[in-house]
Amino acid sequence: MMKYSPFQDEPSSDNNNNGQNSESQPQSNAPKHPISVFFHLFFKIVAVAIFILSSFVNIGFVLTFIIVTLSSAFDFWVTKNVTGRKLVGLRWWNQIKEDGTNNWVFESVQDKSQVNPAESLMFWVPVLAFTAAWFVFSIISLFGLSFLWLVVEIVCFLLAGANLLGYIKCAKDARKKVKGMAQSYIVGTIVNQAINRV
């Protein structure tokens, strides 16, 4: 846990303010996934850090392009395929049918006690924040007329945005399923809170 403490500050303070789920939050018996939290943040931070660093240190455009694009691509894969199901118990697929149309497929865990509220927050905040960051970078480059950088930023924004869209749809679907079953409202509140807070 100590290892990841730099990332813990924001969500935990946020949770304390809330108070609503304070009894379940600190000693939640949901399994913890520190490695998932680490990789959920690692590629996102690498991409943005290298991108910002390149304007101070001369790394070279091509090398920056490659590192940032690949980091974003790895982050897309990790977020879509691993950390989503580990941290919030959600997963989305976009499947292609025979006639070429596509449909969304959503999976969500039924047992919401398996989702740690702190980890849920740790999942949603970066997904939203980094999508917003790449959007802002794109706007800045667009008006600064630096079109070479704009290419990088749009690629990163599209990758981050695809995950955000997929998971928002997935969370809505999970809430609907829970309501339908009228079985447990805990999940709904967790998902709700995570989304609202974000």
Partner 1 sequence: MIESENPNTLDEPVIQTILRDLKMIGFKLYHVILPRGNAANVLRDWDLWGPLILCLVMAIFLSISAEEQKALEFTIVFVVVWCGAAIVTVNGQLLCGNISFFQSVCILGYCIFPLTIATIIIWIIQNFTMIVKLPIVGGAWFWSSFASYGFLGSSVPESRRLLAVYPVLLFYLVIAWLVVVQ
Query: Could you list the residues that contact partner 1 (CB under 8 A)?
Result: 60-62, 65-66, 69-70, 73, 77, 81-82, 85, 89, 91, 94, 96, 98-102, 107-109, 148, 151
**Of 81 and 196, CB closest to partner 1:** 81
**Of 14 and 42, CB closest to partner 1:** 42
Minimum CB separation of residue 73 from partner 1 in Å reads 6
Minimum CB separation of residue 12 from partner 1 in Å reads 26
For residue 11 the two structure tokens come to 């969500």
Cα-based torsion angle of the residue sequence 141, 45, 83, 197 in order, rounded to the nearest 10 degrees: -70
d(CA 113, CA 177): 16
d(CA 195, CA 77): 22
**Of 88 and 125, CB closest to partner 1:** 88
Minimum CB separation of residue 41 from partner 1 in Å reads 16
Minimum CB separation of residue 6 from partner 1 in Å reads 23
Say if residues 62 and 149 touch (Cβ distance below 8 Å). no
d(CA 127, CA 137): 16
**Of 16 and 94, CB closest to partner 1:** 94
**Of 9 and 98, CB closest to partner 1:** 98
For residue 96 the two structure tokens come to 């292609």
Q: Could you please report the per-residue DSSP string of 66-112? A: HHHHHHHHHHHHHIIIIIIIIIISEEEEEEEPTTS-EEEEEEE-S-G
Minimum CB separation of residue 99 from partner 1 in Å reads 5
- In three-state secondary structure terms, 2 is helix
